[in-house]
Every structure is written in structure tokens, then in C-alpha cells.
Amino acid sequence: MPEKITFLPISHTGWGSLSNLLNEVNRFHVKKILVITDPFLKDIGLTNQVIAPIEEAGYSIEIYTDVAPEPPLAMGEKLVAYTRDQQFDMVIGVGGGSTLDLTKLAGVLAANEGLVADYLNLTGTKQITKKGLPKILIPTTSGTGSEVTNISVLSLETTKDVVTHDYLLADVAIVDPALTISLPPKVTAATGVDALTHAVEAYISKNASPVSDALALQAIRLISNSIRTAVANGEDKQARTDMSYGSYIAGLAFFNAGVAGVHALAYPIGGQFHVAHGDSNAVLLPYVMGYIRQSCEKRMKDIYDAMGFSSANLSQEEASYRCVSELKRLVEDVNIPTTLKGFNITEDALESLTQDAVEQKRLLARSPMPLLRDDIYTIYKSAFDGVIVEK
Ligand code: NAD
């Protein structure tokens, strides 16, 4: 099947890559820059450290901090209105996926009319027609891959939805692991398993290609081998570097191949219970993979090997079972609860979670095993009970 493959944006990666920021800004011949960041990063001085070189070079800079994790739609509407009103000529996002997603929306919708709500994937009616302002994205978590995708995720009342368009792709991404040293263990774990989930889901996606496969397996290798160290010792330079590359590469993999069932079931958990995106993926990852195991046995054997184990003396079936167990063990090892109960989700919520997950058709369509309403309920129930169940 013919493939569309996208490797944007221009990226600077690796320890110290932030030193490219000023040169990149200079290329765009802009004057008035909006820097979008979250209040915590501003308070700890990270934002100012990042933008110091462009401030010293004399650019007019405004810092916008009305950003919260898992940003609700209203937060996007407010930022877009502000960006239009103040007529900036560049946006720079410094933060985790929540900040980067809002930055993408602000940059693009500054030049397109209407509300953010008009452009939502599930209910929107408008098409983005203009590219908008140049965007530079500087992630401070190793997780979402937002710096290389054309998606912005927003929280709605009971679920999440996305705005997606190639104009949302950044012009420049600067992925410097040094910016992730200050991440606390809990966020390192949640964002890291988010990145792992991107790679695993891209690898088993119905839209996977030889290109996304290569990216996904390398991301799985890097993340599986470094996440425990990054959580236990956040100052470990090598582990932070591997996590940074791992999440960036996983972003490229899933941007090209898509994510599937884990994300479809995770969105309602984020929407209804305000569980961080990485945690909601992590708690479901072993249960979704366990349920669909038979539809992608060979690919799960490859994942098992990429995680650093050897399937040499195992049947494909046995290796795929072990893959599910190792995914669960990894989530446990980084201290993320492995049952929905662990997030105070009660059994009576499983029905409404199912109802919302069924609507995530764009994601479900990429699952190697069709996931219908009953399947989805069964997976939620297995994640509630903490017992992996197969189709
Ligand atoms: P986040 O941006 O919500 O940040 C989580 C917390 O980490 C915040 O409290 C933040 O202040 C803190 N933090 C960030 N960097 C830090 C640092 N260096 N040191 C200390 N603290 C730091 O977390 P996230 O997981 O990166 O982003 C989640 C959002 O991204 C969700 O809304 C999710 O749906 C979305 N997402 C988007 C894509 C995409 O392709 N656009 C993909 C996956 C997820």
C-alpha cells in the first residue's frame, strides 16, 4: 500500500541542543514573540533559562502561563483569542504536551476564524485553511511527542478530542534532554510510559509501515532500557538522553502509523477522572495488549525482544504472553497503579467509560483486532479487577 511519510519539523536533538534556539528564531525575521509555558516551569526558572538568549538578543517577548495539565477546551479558546488580539508573529512552546498542544493551536488558529470547538475532530465543522504563525516547540517532558505531531489534544467534559491538521506541525522542534532533569519521578514515569505506549501502538497499528516499524522498535528499545533508571535517578544523563530520544522517535512512529485501542480507552479516563494522560495509558496498556494478543502475536514477540529479552527459545505464542507480562511489570516497576481501582475509579463508572470510548472511532479503527462495545467493557473490567483477559 502506498504510504504518506512525514518527518517534520526541523529538529535539534540531544544534550545541549537548546543552544540552537537563537539561530532558529533569527531565521524567521520576527519581532514579537509569544512564549507559552506552564506556571510551574516559570516558577522554577526553567522557562526563563530557555528564553534568555532570545531576550538578550532584543526580541519583544511575552510569557503566557494560563496552562494546566490536560488542558480543557476553554483554555484553548482563551489562548487563541488572546493570540489573535495581540498580533504576535511567532509562538514558542516551552513545556510538556499540554503546553505544546496549546501552542500549536494558538499559532495556527491565530490566522483561522472561529472557535477551537469548530475544528474538533468528533464534532467540529470547519477546516483549517491557513498555516498561521511560525511555531517552535521545546518539550520539557519525555512523553507525548507533540513536538513532531500534527495533533492538539483537548479535554472535554467527559472525554478528550483532538484538532488535527498538518499546519499544526511545528516549524522547529528542540528536544534537549537537559530540560527534563527537573522532572519528578511520578511525571517521569507517566510521561515515559506514554511514550512507550506510542511506540507499542504504532508497531501493532493497522497503519504500520516499514518506516514506522523501524522507529517504533528503536523507541521501545531506548525507553524500556532507560525508564527505570530515569525514574529512580532523574539526574542520570544517559537515561534522560535515551528517554528524550525515545519519546521523540516514538512521536515520529505514531504520527505516521497512529495509536489505537489503548489511547481510545485512555481518553475517557482522562476526561472523566482527570487522570494524567500517561497514567491512563499505563494502567490500560497490559490489559488492551493482553486482550488483543492473538491478533498480533508475531509483533508482540518483536516487542518482547526490543524490550531487551530474548525470544530465541520461545514459541511466538509464549513470547507474546511474556510481552504482556513484561509490559505490566514495567508499569509496576515505575510505581504506576496497575488497576483502575488504584486511581479511585469505581465499577459503576465502567459503563460510561465504555460509552465514551466507543466514540473514538479514529483510534479504534487502527486496532489489529476490532474492538466493539462488549470488548471495550471487558477490557475496562479486566483493568478494574487487575486480571488480564483474552478475547
Ligand atoms: P503535562 O504537559 O501536562 O505536564 C505534566 C506536569 O509536569 C505539569 O505539572 C508540568 O508543570 C510538569 N513538568 C513539565 N516539565 C517539567 C520539568 N522539566 N520539570 C518539572 N516539572 C515539569 O504532561 P505531558 O504528559 O507532557 O502532556 C500531556 C498532554 O499532552 C495531555 O493533554 C495529552 O492528551 C497530550 N498529548 C498530546 C499528544 C500530541 O501528539 N499532541 C500526544 C500525547 C499526549
- Cα–Cα distance measured from residue 391 to residue 181, given in angstroms and rounded to the nearest whole number: 41
**Predicted local confidence at residue 4, as pLDDT:** 82
* Sign of the alpha-carbon torsion through 207, 211, 213, 219: negative
3-state secondary structure of 32: strand
Please state whether the predicted TM-score (pTM) of the whole model is above 0.85: yes
pLDDT for residue 371:
98
Site to probe by mutation for ligand 1, drawn from 6, 18, 38 as the one with most ligand atoms within 8 Å of Cβ, is 38
**pLDDT tens for each residue of 158-197:** 888 999 999 999 999 999 999 999 999 999 999 999 999 9
Q: Ligand 1 in contact with 99 (CB < 6 A)? A: yes
- The type of residue at 340 is L
Element (H, E) at 164: strand 160-164
CA 263/CA 144 separation, integer angstroms:
12
Alpha-helical regions (H) of the chain: 21-27, 39-43, 46-56, 73-86, 97-109, 185-204, 210-232, 237-257, 261-273, 277-292, 297-306, 316-333, 350-358, 361-364, 373-385
DSSP codes of every residue in 311-324: -TTS-HHHHHHHHH
- Choose which residue among 43, 141, 267 to substitute to test ligand 1 binding: the one with the highest number of ligand atoms within 8 A of its C-beta: 141
What's the confidence (pLDDT) of residue 331?
98
CA of 98 to the centre of ligand 1 (A): 5
Q: For the chain, which residues score pLDDT lower than 50?
A: none
CA distance readout (Å), 377 to 304, 374, 382: 27, 5, 9
What is the predicted pLDDT for the residue at 298? 98
DSSP code of 120? -
Per DSSP, what are the bridge partners of residue 138? 94
Sign of CA dihedral 318, 323, 328, 334: positive
Query: Is the beta carbon of 96 within 6 A of some atom in ligand 1?
Result: yes
* Secondary structure class of 39 (helix, strand, coil): helix
Q: CA–CA separation, 50 vs 48, rounded Å?
A: 5
Do strands 160-164 and 151-155 pair parallel, antiparallel, or not at all (unpaired)? Answer: antiparallel
What does the pLDDT read at residue 378? Answer: 98
What's residue 380's pLDDT? 98
User: What are φ and ψ of residue 303, in 5° steps?
Assistant: -65, -40
Percentage of the chain lying above the pLDDT 90 cut: 95
In angstroms, the Cα distances linking 221 to 216, 245, 252, 288, 309 are 9, 11, 15, 21, 10
Closest protein CA for atom 14 of ligand 1: 96
**Centroid of ligand 1 to alpha carbon of 143 (angstroms):** 7
